Amino acid sequence: MNPGATEPRLFLALDVDDVAHAERLAESLRDTGIGMKLGPRLMMREGRRLVALMAKHSPVFVDCKHFDIPSTMEAAVRTAFDTGAQYTTIHALAGPEALAKMATLEAELQRERPFRILCVTVLTSFSDNTLPFGLRDRNLERLVEGLADEAYASGLKSFVCSSREAARMRGLFPDAFLVTPGIRPAGSAIGDQIRVETPALAAKAGANALVVGRPILSASEPRVAAIAILNEFSQASIQR
Residues 6 or more apart from 12 whose CB is under 8 A from it? Answer: 25, 26, 29, 34, 35, 36, 37, 212, 213, 216, 217, 226
Which is the catalytic residue, given 37, 65, 157, 204? 65
Residue 6: helix, strand or coil by DSSP? Answer: coil
Question: Inter-axis angle of helices 222-239 and 19-28, to 10 degrees?
Answer: 50
Identify any residues that bridge with 158 across adjacent strands, giving them in sequence order.
177
Q: Is 65 a catalytic residue?
A: yes
Number of residues that this document lists for the chain: 240
State residue 120 phi and psi, 5-degree precision. Answer: -80, 130
- Residues carrying an active site annotation: 65
